[in-house]
Structure 1
């Protein structure tokens, strides 16, 4: 040994630096919600409610007899409102998360290694060990790290535009594969 770090040390550590961007946060929230069972159930209930409400409105219009325009308007409004609230929920969560991240400095530095993922900003420093991030999803823009199903739908994200090295995404993917499970 000559005292220099071996090549495996280089592959067991990936660094990122990036500005907090709303588009990244929105995508991470979308992925996180999509991986949560409770969100999938809620979506089915919401769409089912919307379909049922619109079906009631259509039946009111199509069936013979006196038309209850109030029922038609109410059921149509209910169907549209349920779907709108469903879509606005993800947007609102992303906006709130983005505002909180921007308040911490707006720029993030991240070190991913064999022990944990560490985020540093002007106002905050957070370390999350792999046991709390056992799952991940890769998108075209991000690696979204997810908490265990038993803890809800927590997430963290690592944008690919924050990687300095051209082979950074491959090295990060390999590191994530060693410590987390790809969904």
Structure 2
């Protein structure tokens, strides 16, 4: 199967969301909101406790709570903002997917990922996101559904992925 597409920033945001959900940093989705709640509970105790609250520790806890609360939803966009210029410079991408794996070719690079490397995948409404077999999910590749001329090719790709990679 052949896909031809130009990656968008939203493709990257979507892929990073998947990576954060299933990769090494999946614990951040729970730890950071819990840290925000704890910080705000501490602020509440500091304000209502005996003796009044000192400004320095109070400001620190409010700041930590806000950072933790904002970081989780903002992280995919922050990562995409850092990475997208490099991907954008590569221009049009051509991906070939077959029983051996995936091969991405741009005007400046060529990457081959065998199924032993890209052993997991997730499907989002707009693309298939391939993840490396390691628990960190450090290796990520995206195959946008819009790259197919024939909508039936999306089903064929899903079938091929199901044969060669584990759906997460």
TM-score by length of 2: 0.91
Cα distance, 1:61 vs structure 2: 1.1
- How far the C-alpha of 1:110 sits from its partner, in A, is 0.8
- State the match for 1:93 in structure 2: 79
The equivalences for 1:104-143 within 5 A come to: 104=90, 106-143=91-128
Cα deviation 1:74-104 (Å, max 9, x = unaligned): 2111110223344443323222332121122
1:162 is the counterpart of 2:136 = no
* Cα distance in 2, alignment partners of residues 128 and 28 from structure 1: 16
Ranges in structure 2 where 5+ consecutive residues have no aligned partner: none
Give 1:71 deviation, angstroms.
2.5
Summarize the Cα distance change of 1:139–1:150 in structure 2 as closer, same or farther, 3 Å threshold.
closer
Whose radius of gyration is greater, 1 or 2?
1
Any residues of structure 2 matched to 1:27-38 within 5 Å, and which?
27-36=14-23, 38=24
CA distance in 2, matches of 1:79, 1:22: 28
Determine helix, strand or coil for the equivalent of 2:150.
Answer: coil
Q: Is 1:172 aligned with 2:162?
A: no
Q: Which is further off, 18-27 or 145-154?
A: 145-154
User: Could you tell me how far apart the structure 2 residues matched to 1:157 and 1:21 are?
Assistant: 11
What TM-score, normalized by structure 1, do the two folds share?
Answer: 0.84
Q: Hey, what does 1:7 align to over in structure 2?
A: none
Out of 62-71 and 134-143, give the one that drifted further: 62-71
User: C-alpha separation between the residues in 2 aligned to 1:66 and 1:157?
Assistant: 53
C-alpha contact (below 8 Å) 1:58/1:72 kept by paired residues: no
**Contact 2:32 2:69 survives alignment (8 Å):** yes
3-state DSSP of counterpart to 2:61: helix
Aligned length: 168
Distance 2:2 2:108 in 1: 19
Two-structure CA RMSD over aligned residues (Å): 1.7
